[in-house]
């Protein structure tokens, strides 16, 4: 099964353009269960997950959502069986190679967030190339969290800031939220307005711990490979019903 939608689809009339999130983040979970439920090996779930992601990216563009950040591989996912980890690394590289032309054409600016130096060299090359070639695109900001961990991100920001303090570049009293954010992997992106997690799990699993402080959270039982446009529309409708108060009344 693949998902294909090549023509522009307008925002459904029951969604309000002015109430759309600017930045959506997704914990794409449930690939393994999707495959096992069909009597397939887990990796088939990851393959279908990629097809669903491609369509979600296109959907965000069609509907006018400016930024999409997805969790592709966590710092904890190295603990999976070697074959699955290797499959994922090869899959990511292959997808990047295959999709780069289309991303260029569709004005996608792709970025990777996470500890990228620990990824296989072949994947690092694909990542650098895709980021370099799409860096001037402004149609949609597409951020892929790969070997990403929120705690590690915060720690590396602390280390970088501590080094600058040590060198006399920053005074401890100057360290504020803006400076801190500037040292996160996700700089200079704004925080996600909406975070979606599929597959019925209700946890953050070390994703964007700093950035999600005031994001609206949407959980769904739907497994990631089944998360199509109609599921995304449900998440956006739920978001549009929310009242964001940011601690005020
Ligand atoms: C999410 O799906 C994809 C990655 C973590 C790479 P899972 O592989 O976690 O699927 P389940 O949770 O085992 O069903
Ligand atoms: C979170 O899913 C990581 C990604 C989606 C890449 P996991 O499946 O790894 O999370 P846990 O282990 O259920 O918390
Ligand atoms: Mg999972």
Domains assigned to the chain: 20-65+77-92+103-148+185-240 (3.40.1180.10), 149-184 (no CATH)
* Ligand 2 atom nearest 203 alpha carbon: 14
| Index of the ligand 1 atom closest to the CA of residue 49 | 3
Tell me the pLDDT tens digit for each residue of 85-112. 999 999 999 999 999 999 999 999 999 9
C-alpha of residue 237 to centroid of ligand 1, in Å: 26
193 is catalytic: no
Query: If we measure between CA atoms, which residue out of 151, 82, 152, 141 comes closest to residue 117?
Result: 152
77 Cβ closer than 6 Å to some ligand 2 atom: yes
Question: Does 77 participate in catalysis according to the annotation?
Answer: yes
141 φ/ψ angles, rounded to the nearest 5 degrees:
-95, 115
Read off the pTM.
Answer: 0.96
Give the number of other Cβ atoms within 10 Å of residue 52's Cβ. Answer: 25
Span from the CA of 24 to the centroid of ligand 2 (angstroms): 18
Res 8: pLDDT: 73
Q: How far is the CA of 30 from the centre of ligand 3 (A)?
A: 5
Nearest residue to 161 via CA among 142, 176, 139: 176
- The span from the CA of 197 to the CA of 186, in Å, is 19
Going by C-alpha positions, the residue among 87, 29, 72 that lies closest to residue 225 is 29
Quote the Cα angle for 16-193-34, to 5°: 90
Q: Of 91, 140, 145, whose CA–CA distance to 116 is shortest?
A: 145
pLDDT in tens, 36-83: 999 999 999 999 999 999 999 999 999 999 999 999 999 999 999 999
Ligand nearest to the CA of 224: 1
Q: Which residues surround ligand 3, an ion (CB under 5 A)?
A: 29
């Amino acid at each position: 099964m693949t998902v294909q939608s090549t023509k522009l689809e307008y925002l459904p009339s029951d969604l309000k353009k002015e109430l759309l999130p600017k930045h959506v983040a997704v914990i794409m979970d449930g690939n393994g269960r999707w495959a096992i439920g069909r009597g397939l090996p887990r990796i088939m779930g990851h393959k279908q997950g990629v097809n669903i992601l491609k369509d979600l990216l296109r959907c965000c563009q069609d509907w006018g959502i400016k930024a999409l950040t997805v969790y592709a591989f966590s710092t904890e996912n190295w603990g999976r069986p070697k074959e699955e980890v290797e499959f994922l690394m090869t899959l990511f590289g292959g997808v990047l190679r295959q999709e780069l032309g289309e991303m260029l054409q569709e004005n996608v600016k792709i970025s990777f967030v996470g500890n990228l130096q620990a990824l296989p060299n072949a994947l690092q090359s694909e990542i650098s190339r895709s980021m370099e070639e799409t860096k001037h695109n402004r149609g949609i900001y597409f951020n892929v969290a790969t070997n990403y961990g929120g705690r590690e991100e915060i720690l590396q920001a602390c280390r970088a800031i501590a080094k600058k303090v040590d060198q006399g570049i920053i005074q401890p009293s100057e360290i504020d939220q803006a400076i801190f954010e500037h040292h996160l992997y996700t700089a200079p992106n704004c925080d996600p307005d909406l975070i979606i997690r599929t597959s019925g799990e209700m946890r953050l699993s070390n994703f964007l711990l700093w950035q999600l402080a005031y994001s609206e959270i949407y959980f769904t039982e739907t497994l990631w490979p089944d998360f199509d446009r109609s599921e995304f529309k449900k998440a956006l409708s739920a978001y549009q019903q929310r009242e964001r108060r940011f601690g005020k009344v």
